[in-house]
Amino acid sequence: MYISQNYSYAILRPLQEEILARGGEVAWFLEGKEVSPKHLTNDEQQLLSIDSVRAWNPEVVLVPGNVVPNFIPGIKVGVFHGFSVGKLNRRGRPDHFEIRNCFDLYCTQGPDTSIPFQALSVKHKTFSVVETGWSTLDPLFTKSPNNPYLDNNDKRKTILMCSTFSRNLSCAPIVFEKIKALSETGEWRWLIQFHPKMDTAVVDLYKSIQSENLQFIETDNVLPMLQAADVMLCDTSSILIMHLLQRKPVVAFNNNSGNECLIHIDKVEDIYTALCQALAPSEQLMKKIDDYCNNIHPYNDGKSSTRVLQAVEQFSAGNYNSLASKPLNLIRKYKLRKKLNYWKW
Protein backbone atom coordinates (compact mmCIF):
# COMPACT_ATOMS: atom_id res chain seq x y z
CA MET A 1 0.00 0.00 0.00
CA TYR A 2 1.86 3.08 -1.29
CA ILE A 3 0.26 6.32 -0.09
CA SER A 4 1.09 10.02 0.19
CA GLN A 5 -2.17 11.51 1.59
CA ASN A 6 -4.18 10.73 4.73
CA TYR A 7 -7.35 10.14 2.74
CA SER A 8 -5.61 7.21 1.04
CA TYR A 9 -6.03 5.05 4.15
CA ALA A 10 -9.77 4.84 3.57
CA ILE A 11 -9.20 4.22 -0.13
CA LEU A 12 -7.03 1.16 0.43
CA ARG A 13 -8.43 -0.39 3.60
CA PRO A 14 -11.26 -2.27 1.82
CA LEU A 15 -8.56 -3.87 -0.34
CA GLN A 16 -6.48 -4.64 2.73
CA GLU A 17 -9.48 -6.34 4.33
CA GLU A 18 -10.03 -8.49 1.24
CA ILE A 19 -6.33 -9.40 0.98
CA LEU A 20 -6.17 -10.45 4.62
CA ALA A 21 -9.38 -12.46 4.27
CA ARG A 22 -7.66 -14.41 1.49
CA GLY A 23 -4.67 -15.15 3.71
CA GLY A 24 -2.40 -12.55 2.17
CA GLU A 25 -0.07 -10.06 3.83
CA VAL A 26 -0.17 -6.25 3.66
CA ALA A 27 2.38 -3.55 4.44
CA TRP A 28 2.17 0.24 4.15
CA PHE A 29 4.73 2.73 2.88
CA LEU A 30 4.06 6.40 3.60
CA GLU A 31 5.61 8.85 1.15
CA GLY A 32 6.24 12.46 2.14
CA LYS A 33 5.07 14.80 4.88
CA GLU A 34 1.39 15.06 3.95
CA VAL A 35 0.54 11.59 5.24
CA SER A 36 0.71 10.75 8.94
CA PRO A 37 1.46 7.36 10.53
CA LYS A 38 -0.90 8.24 13.39
CA HIS A 39 -3.76 6.92 11.26
CA LEU A 40 -2.23 3.43 11.18
CA THR A 41 -3.84 0.95 13.52
CA ASN A 42 -1.84 -1.24 15.89
CA ASP A 43 -2.20 -4.28 13.65
CA GLU A 44 -1.11 -2.53 10.45
CA GLN A 45 2.47 -2.98 9.31
CA GLN A 46 4.49 0.04 8.22
CA LEU A 47 7.68 -0.17 6.17
CA LEU A 48 9.84 2.81 7.09
CA SER A 49 12.27 2.97 4.17
CA ILE A 50 12.63 2.06 0.53
CA ASP A 51 15.27 -0.48 1.55
CA SER A 52 12.73 -2.19 3.81
CA VAL A 53 10.14 -2.13 1.00
CA ARG A 54 12.59 -3.76 -1.38
CA ALA A 55 13.55 -6.32 1.25
CA TRP A 56 9.86 -7.09 1.86
CA ASN A 57 9.65 -7.60 -1.92
CA PRO A 58 5.93 -7.02 -2.61
CA GLU A 59 4.22 -8.93 -5.38
CA VAL A 60 1.78 -6.07 -5.93
CA VAL A 61 1.93 -2.33 -5.16
CA LEU A 62 -1.49 -0.66 -4.85
CA VAL A 63 -1.41 3.09 -5.44
CA PRO A 64 -4.24 5.65 -5.04
CA GLY A 65 -2.07 8.34 -6.62
CA ASN A 66 -0.45 9.45 -9.85
CA VAL A 67 3.08 8.09 -9.55
CA VAL A 68 5.04 5.28 -7.94
CA PRO A 69 8.81 4.61 -8.11
CA ASN A 70 9.97 1.99 -10.59
CA PHE A 71 12.69 0.88 -8.14
CA ILE A 72 10.07 -0.69 -5.89
CA PRO A 73 9.41 -4.30 -6.95
CA GLY A 74 6.01 -5.69 -7.82
CA ILE A 75 3.14 -5.12 -10.23
CA LYS A 76 2.13 -1.45 -10.01
CA VAL A 77 -1.65 -1.06 -9.86
CA GLY A 78 -3.41 2.30 -10.12
CA VAL A 79 -6.64 2.36 -8.10
CA PHE A 80 -7.30 6.15 -8.22
CA HIS A 81 -7.74 8.77 -5.50
CA GLY A 82 -10.98 10.16 -6.88
CA PHE A 83 -13.25 10.39 -9.87
CA SER A 84 -12.72 12.33 -13.06
CA VAL A 85 -14.24 15.79 -12.66
CA GLY A 86 -12.85 17.25 -15.88
CA LYS A 87 -9.90 19.08 -14.34
CA LEU A 88 -7.13 19.99 -16.76
CA ASN A 89 -3.44 19.90 -15.90
CA ARG A 90 -0.98 22.64 -16.78
CA ARG A 91 -0.57 21.12 -20.23
CA GLY A 92 -4.29 21.60 -20.84
CA ARG A 93 -4.99 17.86 -20.82
CA PRO A 94 -7.50 15.97 -18.66
CA ASP A 95 -5.43 15.16 -15.58
CA HIS A 96 -7.39 12.02 -14.71
CA PHE A 97 -6.25 10.41 -17.98
CA GLU A 98 -2.64 11.58 -18.00
CA ILE A 99 -0.35 8.59 -18.58
CA ARG A 100 2.82 8.92 -16.52
CA ASN A 101 4.17 5.49 -17.42
CA CYS A 102 4.28 4.28 -13.81
CA PHE A 103 1.55 1.63 -13.80
CA ASP A 104 1.16 -1.85 -15.23
CA LEU A 105 -2.57 -2.13 -14.52
CA TYR A 106 -5.37 0.37 -14.04
CA CYS A 107 -8.50 -0.78 -12.19
CA THR A 108 -11.13 1.62 -13.45
CA GLN A 109 -14.36 2.72 -11.80
CA GLY A 110 -16.94 2.57 -14.58
CA PRO A 111 -17.52 3.18 -18.32
CA ASP A 112 -16.70 6.89 -17.93
CA THR A 113 -13.09 6.03 -17.07
CA SER A 114 -12.78 2.57 -18.61
CA ILE A 115 -13.43 3.60 -22.20
CA PRO A 116 -10.76 6.38 -22.31
CA PHE A 117 -8.20 4.24 -20.47
CA GLN A 118 -8.82 1.27 -22.75
CA ALA A 119 -8.18 3.49 -25.75
CA LEU A 120 -4.98 4.74 -24.13
CA SER A 121 -3.96 1.14 -23.42
CA VAL A 122 -4.24 0.32 -27.12
CA LYS A 123 -2.19 3.40 -27.96
CA HIS A 124 0.62 2.95 -25.42
CA LYS A 125 0.65 -0.86 -25.06
CA THR A 126 2.47 -0.49 -21.73
CA PHE A 127 -0.42 -1.20 -19.35
CA SER A 128 -3.67 -3.11 -19.07
CA VAL A 129 -7.09 -1.86 -18.00
CA VAL A 130 -9.85 -3.74 -16.16
CA GLU A 131 -13.13 -2.21 -14.99
CA THR A 132 -13.63 -3.25 -11.38
CA GLY A 133 -15.43 -0.42 -9.65
CA TRP A 134 -13.69 1.66 -6.99
CA SER A 135 -12.78 -0.41 -3.94
CA THR A 136 -12.94 2.72 -1.80
CA LEU A 137 -16.71 2.67 -2.04
CA ASP A 138 -17.27 -0.88 -0.83
CA PRO A 139 -18.12 0.28 2.72
CA LEU A 140 -20.40 3.00 1.31
CA PHE A 141 -22.84 0.33 0.22
CA THR A 142 -22.70 -1.49 3.56
CA LYS A 143 -24.60 -0.03 6.48
CA SER A 144 -22.52 0.37 9.61
CA PRO A 145 -24.26 -0.02 12.98
CA ASN A 146 -21.79 2.39 14.58
CA ASN A 147 -21.93 5.46 12.34
CA PRO A 148 -20.85 8.37 14.59
CA TYR A 149 -22.72 10.93 12.48
CA LEU A 150 -26.14 9.33 12.73
CA ASP A 151 -28.47 10.39 15.51
CA ASN A 152 -31.64 8.30 15.62
CA ASN A 153 -33.12 10.68 18.18
CA ASP A 154 -32.77 13.68 15.86
CA LYS A 155 -35.39 13.55 13.13
CA ARG A 156 -34.10 16.61 11.25
CA LYS A 157 -32.67 16.28 7.76
CA THR A 158 -28.87 16.32 7.56
CA ILE A 159 -26.96 18.58 5.17
CA LEU A 160 -23.34 17.71 4.41
CA MET A 161 -21.26 20.63 3.17
CA CYS A 162 -17.94 19.85 1.49
CA SER A 163 -15.51 22.08 -0.35
CA THR A 164 -12.30 21.88 -2.33
CA PHE A 165 -9.22 23.76 -1.15
CA SER A 166 -8.49 25.75 -4.33
CA ARG A 167 -9.06 29.45 -3.71
CA ASN A 168 -10.48 29.89 -7.19
CA LEU A 169 -12.97 27.04 -6.82
CA SER A 170 -13.80 26.79 -3.13
CA CYS A 171 -17.25 27.90 -2.02
CA ALA A 172 -16.38 27.77 1.69
CA PRO A 173 -15.29 31.41 2.20
CA ILE A 174 -18.13 32.73 0.04
CA VAL A 175 -21.03 30.92 1.71
CA PHE A 176 -19.82 31.11 5.31
CA GLU A 177 -22.21 33.79 6.56
CA LYS A 178 -25.17 32.05 4.90
CA ILE A 179 -24.27 28.67 6.41
CA LYS A 180 -23.88 30.29 9.81
CA ALA A 181 -27.33 31.89 9.52
CA LEU A 182 -28.99 28.68 8.29
CA SER A 183 -27.42 26.62 11.06
CA GLU A 184 -28.67 29.07 13.68
CA THR A 185 -32.28 28.44 12.64
CA GLY A 186 -31.96 24.81 13.75
CA GLU A 187 -34.09 23.58 10.84
CA TRP A 188 -31.44 21.09 9.70
CA ARG A 189 -28.39 19.31 11.08
CA TRP A 190 -25.16 20.40 9.39
CA LEU A 191 -21.99 18.34 8.90
CA ILE A 192 -19.02 20.28 7.52
CA GLN A 193 -15.96 18.61 5.98
CA PHE A 194 -13.20 20.12 3.83
CA HIS A 195 -10.31 18.89 1.76
CA PRO A 196 -7.26 18.40 4.03
CA LYS A 197 -5.40 21.15 2.15
CA MET A 198 -8.05 23.77 2.95
CA ASP A 199 -6.77 27.14 4.20
CA THR A 200 -6.54 26.92 7.99
CA ALA A 201 -8.16 30.36 8.33
CA VAL A 202 -11.27 29.03 6.59
CA VAL A 203 -11.23 25.89 8.74
CA ASP A 204 -11.05 28.02 11.89
CA LEU A 205 -14.04 30.09 10.73
CA TYR A 206 -16.25 27.03 10.47
CA LYS A 207 -14.94 25.54 13.69
CA SER A 208 -15.97 28.76 15.43
CA ILE A 209 -19.67 28.23 14.61
CA GLN A 210 -20.00 24.67 15.86
CA SER A 211 -23.15 24.05 17.85
CA GLU A 212 -25.85 21.45 18.45
CA ASN A 213 -26.88 22.19 14.85
CA LEU A 214 -23.47 22.18 13.14
CA GLN A 215 -20.47 19.88 13.49
CA PHE A 216 -17.09 20.42 11.82
CA ILE A 217 -15.37 17.12 11.05
CA GLU A 218 -11.71 16.31 10.41
CA THR A 219 -11.31 12.69 9.38
CA ASP A 220 -9.47 10.34 7.05
CA ASN A 221 -12.72 8.51 6.26
CA VAL A 222 -15.56 10.49 4.67
CA LEU A 223 -17.84 7.50 3.99
CA PRO A 224 -19.78 7.56 7.29
CA MET A 225 -20.59 11.24 6.69
CA LEU A 226 -21.84 10.50 3.21
CA GLN A 227 -24.07 7.76 4.58
CA ALA A 228 -25.43 10.03 7.29
CA ALA A 229 -26.31 12.96 5.01
CA ASP A 230 -29.56 13.41 3.12
CA VAL A 231 -28.20 15.98 0.65
CA MET A 232 -24.90 17.74 -0.03
CA LEU A 233 -23.83 21.33 -0.64
CA CYS A 234 -20.55 21.41 -2.54
CA ASP A 235 -18.55 23.16 -5.26
CA THR A 236 -16.21 21.26 -7.59
CA SER A 237 -14.82 18.72 -5.13
CA SER A 238 -14.95 15.17 -6.48
CA ILE A 239 -16.54 14.03 -3.22
CA LEU A 240 -19.85 15.17 -4.67
CA ILE A 241 -19.72 12.20 -7.03
CA MET A 242 -19.48 9.81 -4.09
CA HIS A 243 -22.59 11.39 -2.63
CA LEU A 244 -24.46 11.10 -5.93
CA LEU A 245 -23.60 7.42 -6.14
CA GLN A 246 -25.90 6.86 -3.18
CA ARG A 247 -28.66 8.33 -5.37
CA LYS A 248 -28.69 11.44 -3.15
CA PRO A 249 -28.96 14.95 -4.67
CA VAL A 250 -26.19 17.56 -4.61
CA VAL A 251 -26.44 21.36 -4.71
CA ALA A 252 -23.35 22.60 -6.56
CA PHE A 253 -22.16 26.19 -6.02
CA ASN A 254 -20.24 27.80 -8.90
CA ASN A 255 -19.69 24.44 -10.58
CA ASN A 256 -19.13 24.90 -14.31
CA SER A 257 -19.10 21.21 -15.20
CA GLY A 258 -22.49 21.32 -16.91
CA ASN A 259 -23.45 18.11 -15.13
CA GLU A 260 -27.24 17.98 -15.43
CA CYS A 261 -27.74 15.77 -12.39
CA LEU A 262 -26.48 18.55 -10.09
CA ILE A 263 -28.65 21.40 -8.81
CA HIS A 264 -26.55 24.34 -9.99
CA ILE A 265 -26.52 27.71 -8.23
CA ASP A 266 -24.17 30.69 -8.28
CA LYS A 267 -25.81 33.03 -5.77
CA VAL A 268 -25.59 32.72 -1.98
CA GLU A 269 -29.23 33.73 -1.61
CA ASP A 270 -30.28 30.66 -3.63
CA ILE A 271 -28.76 28.12 -1.22
CA TYR A 272 -31.82 27.62 0.95
CA THR A 273 -34.25 27.15 -1.96
CA ALA A 274 -31.84 24.77 -3.71
CA LEU A 275 -31.42 22.65 -0.60
CA CYS A 276 -35.20 22.43 -0.21
CA GLN A 277 -35.35 21.26 -3.84
CA ALA A 278 -32.68 18.65 -3.14
CA LEU A 279 -34.59 17.36 -0.13
CA ALA A 280 -37.69 16.84 -2.29
CA PRO A 281 -36.19 15.96 -5.70
CA SER A 282 -38.23 15.53 -8.86
CA GLU A 283 -38.46 12.22 -10.70
CA GLN A 284 -36.65 13.85 -13.61
CA LEU A 285 -33.68 14.80 -11.42
CA MET A 286 -33.48 11.32 -9.89
CA LYS A 287 -33.54 9.77 -13.38
CA LYS A 288 -30.58 11.95 -14.39
CA ILE A 289 -28.71 10.98 -11.23
CA ASP A 290 -29.35 7.29 -11.88
CA ASP A 291 -28.13 7.51 -15.50
CA TYR A 292 -25.03 9.40 -14.38
CA CYS A 293 -24.19 6.85 -11.68
CA ASN A 294 -24.51 3.95 -14.10
CA ASN A 295 -21.88 5.61 -16.28
CA ILE A 296 -19.51 6.69 -13.51
CA HIS A 297 -19.72 3.71 -11.15
CA PRO A 298 -22.41 1.09 -11.84
CA TYR A 299 -21.40 -1.15 -8.91
CA ASN A 300 -23.28 -0.94 -5.62
CA ASP A 301 -22.68 -4.50 -4.40
CA GLY A 302 -19.71 -3.62 -2.17
CA LYS A 303 -17.46 -6.10 -4.00
CA SER A 304 -15.14 -3.88 -6.03
CA SER A 305 -12.17 -4.94 -3.88
CA THR A 306 -12.84 -8.54 -4.85
CA ARG A 307 -12.87 -7.57 -8.53
CA VAL A 308 -9.61 -5.61 -8.16
CA LEU A 309 -7.80 -8.61 -6.70
CA GLN A 310 -9.27 -10.90 -9.36
CA ALA A 311 -8.02 -8.48 -12.02
CA VAL A 312 -4.54 -8.45 -10.45
CA GLU A 313 -4.44 -12.26 -10.33
CA GLN A 314 -5.52 -12.57 -13.97
CA PHE A 315 -3.04 -9.89 -15.02
CA SER A 316 -0.21 -11.58 -13.16
CA ALA A 317 -1.03 -14.91 -14.75
CA GLY A 318 -1.40 -13.71 -18.31
CA ASN A 319 -0.81 -10.10 -19.31
CA TYR A 320 2.18 -8.91 -17.30
CA ASN A 321 4.83 -10.24 -19.64
CA SER A 322 2.98 -9.22 -22.81
CA LEU A 323 3.23 -5.47 -22.20
CA ALA A 324 5.58 -3.27 -24.18
CA SER A 325 8.51 -1.72 -22.36
CA LYS A 326 7.78 1.63 -20.73
CA PRO A 327 9.61 4.78 -21.87
CA LEU A 328 12.74 5.63 -19.92
CA ASN A 329 11.13 8.62 -18.15
CA LEU A 330 14.52 9.68 -16.84
CA ILE A 331 13.34 13.05 -15.52
CA ARG A 332 10.41 11.59 -13.56
CA LYS A 333 12.58 8.77 -12.21
CA TYR A 334 15.18 11.28 -11.07
CA LYS A 335 12.52 13.43 -9.35
CA LEU A 336 11.16 10.41 -7.48
CA ARG A 337 14.63 9.35 -6.36
CA LYS A 338 15.34 12.91 -5.21
CA LYS A 339 12.00 13.14 -3.38
CA LEU A 340 12.64 9.88 -1.56
CA ASN A 341 16.41 10.51 -1.27
CA TYR A 342 17.10 7.06 -2.64
CA TRP A 343 20.13 6.54 -4.91
CA LYS A 344 20.76 2.81 -4.73
CA TRP A 345 20.36 0.69 -7.83
Q: What is the CATH number of the domain that holds 35?
A: 3.40.50
Residue 102's pLDDT is 95
Give yes or no: residues 152 and 292 share one domain: yes
Contact 157, 189 (CB under 8 A): yes
Q: How far apart are CA 213 and CA 184, in angstroms?
A: 7
Asked whether residue 331 is domain-assigned, the answer is: yes
DSSP 202: H
Give yes or no: residues 110 and 182 share one domain: no
Give yes or no: residues 42 and 66 share one domain: yes
Question: Position 181: which residue type?
Answer: A
Give yes or no: residues 152 and 73 share one domain: no
Q: What is the CATH number of the domain that holds 197?
A: 3.40.50.2000
Asked whether residue 9 is domain-assigned, the answer is: yes
Contact 262, 238 (CB under 8 A): no
Q: How far apart are CA 280 and CA 218, in angstroms?
A: 29
Residue 326's pLDDT is 93
Give yes or no: residues 307 and 280 share one domain: no
Give yes or no: residues 205 and 307 share one domain: no
Q: How far apart are CA 246 and CA 240, in angstroms?
A: 10
DSSP 146: T
Contact 101, 329 (CB under 8 A): yes
Which residues have CB under 8 Å from 311's CB, separation 6+? 105, 107, 130, 132
Give yes or no: residues 243 and 185 share one domain: yes
Residue 93's pLDDT is 75
**Domains of the chain: total:** 2
pLDDT in single tens digits along all 345 residues of the chain: 999 998 899 999 999 999 999 999 999 999 999 999 999 999 999 999 999 999 999 999 999 999 999 999 999 999 999 888 767 777 777 788 999 999 999 999 999 999 999 999 999 999 999 999 999 999 999 877 789 999 889 999 999 999 999 888 999 999 999 999 999 999 999 999 998 889 999 999 999 999 999 999 998 788 999 999 999 999 998 899 999 999 999 999 999 988 999 999 999 999 999 999 999 999 999 999 999 999 999 999 999 999 999 999 999 998 777 899 999 999 999 999 999 999 998
Give yes or no: residues 276 and 185 share one domain: yes
Helix (H, G, I), strand (E, B) or coil at 158: strand
CA dihedral 223, 227, 233, 234 (to 10 degrees): 20
DSSP 318: I
Q: Residues 100-138, buried b or exposed e (16+ Cβ, 10 A)?
A: eebbbbbbbbbebbbebbbebbeeeebbbbbbbbbbbbb
Asked whether residue 345 is domain-assigned, the answer is: no
pLDDT in tens, 274-318: 999 999 999 999 999 999 999 999 999 999 999 999 999 999 998
Asked whether residue 283 is domain-assigned, the answer is: yes
Strands lying side by side in the sheet with 263-265 = 214-216, 189-194, 158-163, 231-234, 250-253, 263-265
- Report the mean per-residue pLDDT for the chain: 94
Asked whether residue 64 is domain-assigned, the answer is: yes
Asked whether residue 68 is domain-assigned, the answer is: yes
Give yes or no: residues 135 and 154 share one domain: no
Give yes or no: residues 153 and 232 share one domain: yes
Residues spanned by the domain of 319: 2-139+302-340
Burial class, 169, CB count within 10 angstroms (exposed 0-12 / middle 13-18 / buried 19+): middle
Q: How far apart are CA 7 and CA 35, in angstroms?
A: 8
Asked whether residue 60 is domain-assigned, the answer is: yes
Asked whether residue 212 is domain-assigned, the answer is: yes
Give yes or no: residues 180 and 208 share one domain: yes
Give yes or no: residues 225 and 308 share one domain: no
